[in-house]
Amino acid sequence: MRRSTLHTSSLKNLDFIQWARAKKARLRTGQWGFSGEFFPRLSDVCFPLIVPFKWPCPATFLWSKPSFNQLNKQPEWIVRDGLIPVLWFFLNNPKPIGFRSKLLFDQRFAHLIPTAWRAKSLLFNVESTTLATTSKTKRWLLSGIVSPAHCSIEHLESILTQLTTKKALTRLLKTAPLLTSLLFRHERIGDGHFAVEGFHFDFCRRLGSVFCGPAIGSYSHELERLASMDDLIYIDLNEGLLASEGPLHHLVLSKGAIPFNKRTLLGPLKKSIALSRNHCANVCTIPDSIKSVWEKECFSEQVKYARAFTRRLATGKTHHRYPWPVWVEELLPLVLQKNTHNE
């Protein structure tokens, strides 16, 4: 099966063959009580988002279950997991007993961090340092995995609504070329009442209703050859359910592309980690105003059910339609509620 239309092995700082061999060895056995079947499948579903790239500090995927002893060997770690693996980690490690390091989480998952872990956790936000000038932009760049597991129709609609409500972008939407680096995948979420092919068709139809300029397919090696991308507005479609930003995201920002769906740091800046001359990872502590979902009464009841279900899955049974254990489907609606961390 062809995994990707992106030539990720050509990206700088990547040793793809070494990564693939290590992945196979690392994921041979099950994690957190589940069979080995699930986690190799997760790595397949997340490819190429999980391909390694060079961070100034160590980075890890918690779903590969590094031991606390391993993590304690470094003062801090960048966590590259998405929302669902972060949820698992805290479900199975409610308290940091014996943990002496620091974990830096994508700030989108701040509300998933239990109170007991806050002293051991920081938030990071990858930000562009390129000065945004609409008058200079001439092209769009759209990247992501087209699959319900990575970008739901609701998430796409949210991005398109933001685009169409900005008057300064009207001309660009009508005429500017659209470079696309999209990977069409076929994983379902849950039982799914429609075929994934139908999802792909609906996805492309909605894109075509907003972007009216010529569409040009682009491979990562072609993007890498570009000396500068400061005339590009970059849209990352990754919703962050399974993994945070991948290597292509950092390649594009390092070349000066202007991110459309950018986020500001949630709290006062603690430090800034330079990733290139054009982008960085800003770090802050978790603001007291962000409440943990683990403190909500209804969520706690779901967690009790999930723990019981996890024990029943210890025999290695997983639902064949899910790229993750079925109890996650019951927790996600609560986690994904709008403004959960502000309630």
Q: Express each pLDDT in 68-88 by its tens digit.
A: 999 999 999 999 998 888 988
Is residue 334 within 8 A of residue 86, CB to CB? The reply is: no
Burial bucket for residue 274 (CB in 10 Å: 0-12, 13-18, 19+): exposed
**More confident site: 296 or 338:** 296
Mean pLDDT of 305-318: 60
pLDDT at 173 over 50: yes
3-class secondary-structure state, position 94: coil
Q: How many helices (H) and strands (E) does the chain have?
A: 11, 11
Residue type, 58: P
- Kindly give the pairing relationship between strand 139-146 and strand 76-79: unpaired
**More confident site: 317 or 53:** 53
Residue type, 218: S
Say how many residues make up the chain.
Answer: 343
**More confident site: 319 or 165:** 165
Structure tokens at 158: 């949210």
pTM value? 0.78
Nearest-angstrom CA–CA distance, 287 and 51: 31
pLDDT at 217 over 60: yes
Residue 71's pLDDT is: 94
Query: Which residue bears the tokens 């972007």?
Result: 211
Residue 167's pLDDT is: 84
Q: What is the mean pLDDT of the chain?
A: 76
Nearest-angstrom CA–CA distance, 87 and 239: 15
Q: By mean pLDDT, which of 110-114, 293-297, 336-340 is the weakest?
A: 336-340
C-beta neighbour count of 179 within 10 angstroms = 21
Nearest-angstrom CA–CA distance, 292 and 146: 30
Is residue 341 within 8 A of residue 290, CB to CB? The reply is: yes
pLDDT at 342 over 80: no
SS (H, E, C) 70-124: HHCCCCEEEECECHHHHHHHHHHCCCCCCCCCEEEEEHHHHHHCCHHHHHHEEEE
Mean pLDDT of 311-316: 54
Mean pLDDT of 50-59: 82
**More confident site: 342 or 98:** 98
Residue 191's pLDDT is: 44
Q: Is the dihedral of CA 307, 311, 314, 316 positive or negative?
A: negative
- What is the C-alpha end-to-end distance of the chain, expressed in Å? 44
Is residue 85 within 8 A of residue 53, CB to CB? The reply is: no
Mean pLDDT of 103-130: 93
Nearest-angstrom CA–CA distance, 241 and 67: 23
Residue 284 φ then ψ, to 5°: -145, 165
Residue 194's pLDDT is: 42
**More confident site: 150 or 113:** 113
pLDDT at 326 over 80: no
**More confident site: 199 or 105:** 105
- Kindly give the pairing relationship between strand 279-284 and strand 271-274: antiparallel
With residue 128 as reference, give the H or E element that holds it. strand 121-128
Mean pLDDT of 186-213: 71
Residues of the chain above pLDDT 70, percent: 72
Structural domains in the chain, sorted by start: 134-239+246-261 (3.40.50)
Mean pLDDT of 303-320: 60
Residue 121's pLDDT is: 96
Structure tokens at 178: 């659209």
Nearest-angstrom CA–CA distance, 138 and 176: 6
Which of 236, 253, 243, 99 minimizes the C-alpha distance to 155? Answer: 236
Residue 36's pLDDT is: 38
- DSSP labels for 169-193? GHHHHHHS-EEEEEEE----STT-S
Structure tokens at 122: 């920081």
